[in-house]
Chains A and B, each alone.
Chain A
Amino acid sequence: MNEKAPLDRDERISNLKGMGCSRKRVEDVRFTQGRGNYVDDVKLPGMLFGDFVRSPYAHARIKSIDTEAAKAIPGVIAVLTAADLAPLNLHWMPTLAGDKQMVLADGKVLFQGQEVAFVVAEDRYAAADGIEAVVVDYEELPVITDPFKALADDAVVLREDLEAGADGAHGPRRHHNHIFLWEAGDKTTTEQAIDSADVVAEEMVYYHRTHPCPLETCGSVASMDKITGKLTLWGTFQAPHVVRTVASLLSGIEEHNIRVISPDIGGGFGNKVGVYPGYVCSIVASIVTGKPVKWVEDRMENLMATAFARDYWMKGRISATKEGKITGLECHVTADHGAFDACADPTKFPAGFFHICTGSYDIPTAYVGVDGVYTNKAPGGVAYRCSFRVTEAAYFIERMIEVLAIELDMDAAELRRINFIRQDQFPYQSALGWEYDSGDYHTAWDKAMAAVGYDDLRKEQAEMVEAFKRGESRKLLGIGLTHFTEIVGAGPVKNCDILGMGMFDSCEIRIHPTGSAIARLGTISQGQGHATTFAQILATEIGIQADSITVEEGDTDTAPYGLGTYGSRSTPVAGAATAMAGRKIRAKAQMIAAYLLEVHDDDVEFDVDRFVVKGAPERFKTMKEIAYAAYNQAIPGVEPGLEAVSYYDPPNMTYPFGAYICVMEIDVDTGTHHVRQMYALDDCGTRINPMVIDGQVHGGLTEAYAIAMGQEIAYDEIGNCKTGTLMDFFIPTSFETPHYTTDHTVTPSPHHPIGAKGVGESPNVGGVPAFSNAVHDAFRAFGLRQSHMPHDQWRIWETANKLGMHA
């Protein structure tokens, strides 16, 4: 027999490797063989290297900069200072948050590690020698590292460039170091509800400053071709199209003459959303020298000077009835933004989506106010693997629930259960103004409780407390509970924009004559596996095997305009655009199939990888045949070719959620811990690739573990960064990393074309409170209410010590 037996329907589905399939990541072939192509792999003829002279001081006036000796060093081509950039008006640049930031120090420095001068040289070595030879005369000024002290009447003025008393980008500034006050909810009714409640819990919850610390640091290569007038810019950009627009607006170069390329990116986690002085300086240096200029920062520069995350002091009050029904929530945040407000949030949301802080609970009234404050620390405030300030919000509410449980003398799992938004309440209007699209929290919670054997764990915990009290053991058990609700997929153009660009996203598909395809998106993978998963969405939508679909992102000359990848927006927004573009392809394919089968358009229907005549499944045209026909037949009333593009403006955010439980043993004497179990149930709606989801959850949980248990950006009182290397900035190795158990429920998003919600950030959002709550829970029986992260050894030891457990 020559012909193979026709494939049955299941085989055809599995050949597609479409949605739901644990398809292996196509990117990994090159990544695991060292064949990735990162910014630092870009090597151009005649390329120069730029590197920064950075401030050793956190606050100082610059009296003079002498670059003569540096320029005399062999191989040094130029040294740029603010004075050189000023005529181009590039010594300052706008930030994404409506503030402005020095590109090179203009008269003073405001944080340690700030860019002071840019040395351009023939190679990195000469640049490094040049840096040593630049002589900067500083006059030290008083340093403020504490945002509360920054707001004292007599605090030194940090931002002398801002006019006293003038409004900022987000309204009135009430103090010279104040940036904005942003509010949501109803303050009066909230105060009334809390003040008249049976039970009130009040606590200061601090989410410390940390850093996304992607494996690959930030960098760029700028190449200005003076003959064509075209600027090509390779860089570690999470939003290449926005970078092109900003570069055009800043430089005056027309946008069609700028090509921005994000090549492979070795992790971003929010760190690569903003615009850094290095990008601007490499562009200017290329224009000045006429040669390509590369800038790539080292690890210490990345940790000390590029965007940090968190640093939120959250003072909360939560109230409830005696039975534990929550009646109100109030939060006032003092947000330390560092020297410049360089947060990466949608423009109208200076505190991001922090007002998702009512979490998974049905809270009738709530209020939040966020004060942004300047200090002498590095700028940033980016969404480190989260949607804008959602990690802070989740940590806040999950701590407040625990504290309320203590106040009520109630089990914290039960307290959550009786306050969850019920399934029949969705779509749910939160007191702070969000419409939660869907959820089924009770089902997820019950599944999680059963999976970990919650009741037995509580018994074991109680026995360990007794053994400790009897002096037989020095170990405690903590059960860290979390039920988080995220808000991702920014977002609807009507209220979400970045520098005026609406936060839609896009996909363009071309089907080739032989039935394979290329899809280009406005997003950019930094390791998430877009080339794998977006091909799967398309495979299911258009019936072409995922293995026959190339997914390309990151080159603004070829990809359609999009707002990039962060805030778990790629699947909710670009993934939706992909499905919608696929549906346009399918609609045209239907017409072609009907023509080929000589029936009316309505008489064919899509079936996995083909259109079949309704009621006559033996009469069909495969997508391969249809693609060929699109290019080789004159079909009346149908244009040749098979292409589609979709720009998707999401009607709402998506609201992934999850139930995480961490079981942790703590050694009271050493402050060390052992994570016995970390159970993570995620509901991200429709699951495109379960293996990729698992990978995302494992990675995010590991970051969450790091943040909760040791990772921080810390400063001493004169503003020296104490954690500028990986010796002190905690990145867990395989040895420290806990084992994880993943699980899921599926509650599809009702408004998303394929029901998907995004998952990449959930484990960071939910993981941090789970680990932190485990530490707190271990000490609950001994009177602990609140302690500050990170829970490294000495802080856990100190907690035990203060509770008198070493006596």
Chain B
Amino acid sequence: MIPAAFEYHRPSDIAAALSILTEYGDDARVIAGGHSLVPMMKLRMAEVPHLIDLQDIGTLRGIDVGADRIRIGAMTTQHDLINHDALTNAAPTIRETALQIADPQVRYMGTIGGNVANGDPGNDMPALMQCLDATFYLTGPNGERTVSAREFYFAAYATDREDDEILTAIEFAHPMPGFAYEKQKRKIGDYATAAAAVLIQRDGERCTGASIAMTNLSDTPVFAEDAAATLVGTAVDSAAIAAAIEAMQQAIDPSEDNRGPVPFKRHIAGVVLQRAIERAWSRA
């Protein structure tokens, strides 16, 4: 559990970080909270001769709750997300989700940027970002570009981010009022056996908008567009929920691991989605 030797860089602005990234190419990687990257380095599954620490770059940190949109700097920690009142008022689903990540020690260090850039299907924030229809801001040698969270993930650890790009911020519109992030795990500190992020808009007894995404049920987060569509226009009764689960099942592709075999995971995916929909509906 000892990593290979590496050089440690600690730039104080994005330009400096980018120039180190460009200089060392494949041999360089940025580190945020280190709570996904450092374990990989210790297991020597990741070898990073040049480690670029982003923590001195102040512009990457911070939460801005605007009138239309909410912007969160990539280096904002999960702990900061949980304790930001304005963010919790505007988008309570962020807090509910962040509280289900790991444990307080990990959340003091782990960042939202690292969580979404990592590309591990076990991370919780990516599905939530897809559910929120968030936009990721990436800066590279050729300047800034944006990409939708729903288009960002290709496969496990493979994302749309180029090796020489830094994720600077995420942004999303004020979300629909009904929300829930329902996660089943084995214990505190565990990744999801299955988790569901749900947002719902309600007009009386009718659902007028919905968004659904699932965690750790494929090699990427799963944006379950069809499942959400089945809810819209219904009274979110048991038939509608069953139809949403049915549609979600078409979109996921879980694999067996120590958390259980595929049929179990599919069953749990249904249970967490049902519970998330019911809770989101009751809050909408």
Contacts and interface: CB of A to CB of B under 8 A. Distances in A.
Contacts of A727: 189-191
Interface in A519-568: none
Nearest to A733: B188
Contacts of A714: 258
A797 B188 CA distance: 20
B271 A669 contact: yes
A797 B260 contact: yes
Contacts of A723: 258
Nearest to B268: A670
Interface class of chain A by DSSP: loop
A490 B189 CA distance: 40
B2 A806 contact: no
Given A124-B2, A132-B4, A672 B184 contact: yes
A728 interface: yes
Contact of A730 (B5, B184, B187): B187
Given A132-B44, A669-B271, A794 B187 contact: no
B259 interface: yes
Contacts of B189: 727, 733
Contacts of A792: 186, 260
Nearest to A731: B187
Nearest to A706: B187
Contacts of A797: 260, 264, 267-268
Interface in B245-280: 258-261, 263-264, 267-268, 271
Contacts of A738: none
Interface class of chain B by DSSP: loop
A721 to B, nearest CB: 11
A129 B258 contact: no
Contacts of A794: 259-261, 264
A218 to B, nearest CB: 15
Nearest to B263: A801
Interface string A661-674: 00000000111100
Contacts of B1: 298-300
B124 to A, nearest CB: 15
Interface string A730-762: 101101100000000000000000000000000
B93 interface: no
Interface string A688-722: 00000000000000000000001000100000001
A407 interface: no
Nearest to A710: B186
B32 to A, nearest CB: 20
Give the one of B184, B258, B259 with max A CB within 10 A.
Answer: B258
A728 B193 CA distance: 12
B164 to A, nearest CB: 28
B23 interface: no
Interface in A786-807: 792-794, 797-798, 801, 806
B163 interface: no
A730 B186 contact: yes
A298 B43 CA distance: 11
A671 B4 CA distance: 41
Contact of B188 (A735, A793, A798): A735
A128 interface: yes
B18 to A, nearest CB: 30
A667 to B, nearest CB: 9
Contacts of A730: 186-187
A31 interface: no
A125 interface: yes
Contact of A669 (B260, B261, B267): B267
A722 B260 CA distance: 13
A736 B271 contact: no
Given A670-B268, A794-B259, A736 B4 contact: no
B263 to A, nearest CB: 8
Interface string B4-31: 1100000000000000000000000000
Interface in B123-154: none
B187 A733 contact: yes
Nearest to A795: B260
A293 B114 CA distance: 39
Contacts of B205: none
A124 B5 CA distance: 12
Contacts of A728: 258
A798 B258 contact: no
A215 to B, nearest CB: 16
B85 interface: no
Contact of A671 (B187, B190, B264): B264
Interface in B160-194: 184, 186-191, 193
B264 A798 contact: yes
Nearest to B191: A727
Interface string B181-223: 0001011111101000000000000000000000000000000
B195 to A, nearest CB: 12
Contacts of B2: 124-125, 128
Given A129-B5, A723-B258, A736 B267 contact: no
Nearest to A728: B258
A557 B259 CA distance: 49
A735 B186 CA distance: 11
Contacts of B186: 710, 730, 792-793
B103 interface: yes
Contacts of A132: 4, 44
Contacts of B4: 129, 132
B260 A670 contact: no
B188 A736 contact: yes
Nearest to B264: A794
Contacts of B191: 727
A300 B4 CA distance: 18
Contacts of B188: 733, 735-736
Given A730-B187, A733-B188, A735-B187, A793 B193 contact: yes
B99 to A, nearest CB: 12
A670 B266 CA distance: 11
A513 B127 CA distance: 73
A111 to B, nearest CB: 19
A718 to B, nearest CB: 16
A130 to B, nearest CB: 11
A141 B232 CA distance: 58
A129 B1 CA distance: 11
Interface string B29-64: 000000000000000100000000000000000000
Contacts of B187: 710, 730, 732-733, 735-736
Contacts of A722: 258
Contacts of B268: 670, 793, 797
A793 B190 CA distance: 13
A792 B257 CA distance: 13
Contacts of A736: 187-188
Pairs of residues from A and B, 3 with the lowest C-beta to C-beta distance, nearest first: A794-B260, A128-B2, A794-B264
Interface of A: 124-125, 128-129, 132, 298-300, 669-672, 710, 714, 722-723, 727-728, 730, 732-733, 735-736, 792-794, 797-798, 801, 806
7 contacts: A125-B2, A129-B5, A670-B268, A710-B187, A733-B188, A794-B260, A797-B268
Given A710-B187, A727-B190, A735-B188, 12 more contacts: A298-B1, A300-B1, A670-B271, A722-B258, A727-B189, A727-B191, A730-B187, A735-B187, A736-B187, A792-B186, A794-B260, A794-B264
Interface of B: 1-2, 4-5, 44, 103, 184, 186-191, 193, 258-261, 263-264, 267-268, 271
